[in-house]
């Protein structure tokens, strides 16, 4: 039988895809390297040619997510034709579409209590997402729509709290998302020192897309038997 030789980056991407599927199904802690290579029908040693450990693989998956998202955010934050509020609106819209298709993976973090995965996502976000949001807030301060002496710290607090609110969106009853959204808006407006109602008006424009995201997450949550 002729041996199939693949480009290293293609093979590495296949391992990431296979591992991600298992992480969704079983969770990071309950997935072994043996299972990953067995599902791929490849030699066990191939995994260690590309990755030092399962944690190294996890880092690669998260970095792949963040690399794409960071590229999108950078393009928005550096667009000189947009105001700070227009940039935030685009960031929120991009975030909604970015999460589509990843609902099961995000729900699996909660289902399997993979604290390591959640912590790595938060840490990567603080390093790669916060700088671009900080740039937008600083622009907003210059434009007079934001009022904070600590833009970076305000964004960090917002980002960390948003991960908690996002989990609450998924886990709570149908009536709770609206309350959680109102809390999120209130926190943002206080942190960034903007006029009350500024972010509420922004989210109103995205109401349909946000409801679709909430429904999708909650459906994934119910399928996993978590309600």
Output the pLDDT for position 2.
44
Top CATH class, 58-223: mainly alpha
Where, residue-wise, is CATH 1.10.10.60 in the chain?
7-51
Phi, psi angles (nearest 5°) of residue 126: -65, -35
Q: For tokens 């909604």, what's the residue?
A: 96
Widest CA span of the chain, in angstroms? 69
Give percent above pLDDT 90 in the chain: 32
Query: 183-211 pLDDT, tens per residue?
Result: 888 999 999 999 998 988 887 777 766 66
Per-chain mean pLDDT for the chain = 80
CATH architecture entry for 7-51? Orthogonal Bundle (1.10)
Query: 90-127 pLDDT, tens per residue?
Result: 888 877 665 555 555 666 555 555 566 667 777 877 88
Q: How far apart are CA 127 and CA 146, in angstroms?
A: 23
Where, residue-wise, is CATH 1.10.357.10 in the chain?
58-223
């Amino acid at each position: 039988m002729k041996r199939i030789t693949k480009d290293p980056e293609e093979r590495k991407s296949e391992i990431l895809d296979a591992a991600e599927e298992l992480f969704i199904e079983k969770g990071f802690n309950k997935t072994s390297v043996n299972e990953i290579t067995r599902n791929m029908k490849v030699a066990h040693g191939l995994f260690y040619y590309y990755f030092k450990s399962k944690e190294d693989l996890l880092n690669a998956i998260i970095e792949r997510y963040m690399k794409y998202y960071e590229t999108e955010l950078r393009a928005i934050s550096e667009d000189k034709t947009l105001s700070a509020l227009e940039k935030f609106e685009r960031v929120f819209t991009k975030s909604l579409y970015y999460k589509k298709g990843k609902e099961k993976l995000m729900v699996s973090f909660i289902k399997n209590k993979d604290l390591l995965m959640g912590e790595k996502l938060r840490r990567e976000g603080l390093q790669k997402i916060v700088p671009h949001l900080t740039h937008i807030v600083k622009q907003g301060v210059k434009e007079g729509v934001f009022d904070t002496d600590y833009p970076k710290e305000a964004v960090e607090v917002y980002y960390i709290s948003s991960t908690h609110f996002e989990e609450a969106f998924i886990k709570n009853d149908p009536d709770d998302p609206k309350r959680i959204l109102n809390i999120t808006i209130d926190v943002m407006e206080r942190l960034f020192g903007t006029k009350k109602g500024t972010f509420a008006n922004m989210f109103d424009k995205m109401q349909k897309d946000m409801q679709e995201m909430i429904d999708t997450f909650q459906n994934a949550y119910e399928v996993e038997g978590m309600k």
